[in-house]
Amino acid sequence: MANASITINQFNDVLKRLEKLEQGHKEVPVTIEKDIEELKEGYHKIDKEQATFGEKLDSFRREFRTEIKSLEKRFTMMWGLQVATFLAILVLILKDIIFP
C-alpha cells in the first residue's frame, strides 16, 4: 500500500467512470403512503384488541370477586354449622354428666 500510486490518466479514467455512474443513477420516488395506511390499520387493530382484552380482564376480575364472595359465604355457613354441631354434642355430653 505504501507504494500504491496511479497516473494522471488512470485518475482521469476513474473520474470519467464515476461521472457516468452518477449520471446513470436515477432516483426512484418512494411512496410511503401505503405503508403508513397499513400501519394505521394495524395500530387501530391492536388498539381494539387491547380494549377487548381489557374488557375480558375486567369481566374475569368481576367473576373472580363474585366467586370469592360466594366461597366466603359458604365457609361462614360451614363454620356456623360446625359450631352448632359442637355445641349440641357438648350439651349432650354435659347432660349425661350432670343428669346421669
Instruction: Let me know how long the chain is.
Output: 100
Task: Tell me if the pTM is above 0.85.
Answer: no
How many H helices and E strands in the chain?
Answer: 2, 0
- Give the lowest-confidence range in 42-46, 74-78, 79-83: 42-46
Task: Give the chain's mean pLDDT.
Answer: 85
User: Is 14 a residue whose pLDDT tops 70?
Assistant: yes
C-alpha cell at 92: 349432650
Confidence of residue 42 (pLDDT cuts 50, 70, 90): confident
User: Is 97 a residue whose pLDDT tops 80?
Assistant: yes
Average pLDDT over residues 10-38: 81
Looking at residue 3, the DSSP 8-state letter turns out to be: T
Looking at residue 2, the DSSP 8-state letter turns out to be: T
